[in-house]
Amino acid sequence: QVQLVESGGGVVQPGGSLRLSCAASGFTFSSYGMHWVRQAPGKGLEWVAFIRYDGSNKYYADSVKGRFTISRDNSKNTLYLQMNSLRAEDTAVYYCGGNSGYDSPFDYWGQGTLVTVSS
Amino acid sequence: SYVLTQPPSVSVAPGQTARITCGGNNIGSKSVHWYQQKPGQAPVLVVYDDSDRPSGIPERFSGSNSGNTATLTISRVEAGDEADYYCQVWDSSSDHEVFGGGTKLTVL
Q: Would the CB atoms of B88 and A112 count as touching at under 8 Å? A: no
Q: For residue B89, is pLDDT > 90?
A: yes
A46 in B contact zone (CB under 8 Å): yes
Q: What is the pLDDT of residues B36-61, one digit of tens each?
A: 999 999 999 999 999 999 999 999 99
Pairing of strands A45-51, A113-117: unpaired
* Distance separating the N- and C-terminal Cα atoms of chain A: 40
A52 in B contact zone (CB under 8 Å): no
Q: What is the pLDDT of residues A32-63, one digit of tens each?
A: 999 999 999 999 999 999 999 999 999 999 99
Specify the DSSP class assigned to residue A84.
Answer: -
Report DSSP letters for B58-71, one per residue. Answer: -TTEEEEEETTEEE
pLDDT band (50, 70, 90) for residue B96: very high
pLDDT for the residue numbered A101: 83
Q: For residue B102, is pLDDT > 90?
A: yes
Alpha-carbon span B86 to B107, nearest angstrom: 17
Mean residue pLDDT of chain A comes to: 96
pLDDT for the residue numbered A102: 81
pLDDT for the residue numbered B93: 93
Q: Would the CB atoms of B90 and A102 count as touching at under 8 Å? A: yes
Nearest-by-CA chain A residue for B47? A105
Alpha-carbon span B66 to A4, nearest angstrom: 34
Q: At residue A83, what are phi and psi to the nearest 5 degrees? A: -115, 115
Report DSSP letters for A30-82, one per residue. Answer: GGSEEEEEEE-TT--EEEEEEE-TTSS-EEE-TTTTTTEEEEEETTTTEEEEE
pLDDT for the residue numbered A103: 86
pLDDT for the residue numbered B63: 98
Using an 8 Å CB-CB cutoff, list chain A residues near B87: none
User: What is the arithmetic mean of pLDDT over B72-84?
Assistant: 98
Element (H, E) at B35: strand B33-37
pLDDT for the residue numbered B64: 98
Q: Would the CB atoms of A95 and B42 count as touching at under 8 Å? A: yes
Element (H, E) at B33: strand B33-37
Using an 8 Å CB-CB cutoff, list chain A residues near B41: 111
| Residues of chain A under the 70 pLDDT cut | none
Using an 8 Å CB-CB cutoff, list chain B residues near A109: 42-44
Q: Would the CB atoms of B45 and A35 count as touching at under 8 Å? A: no
A27 in B contact zone (CB under 8 Å): no
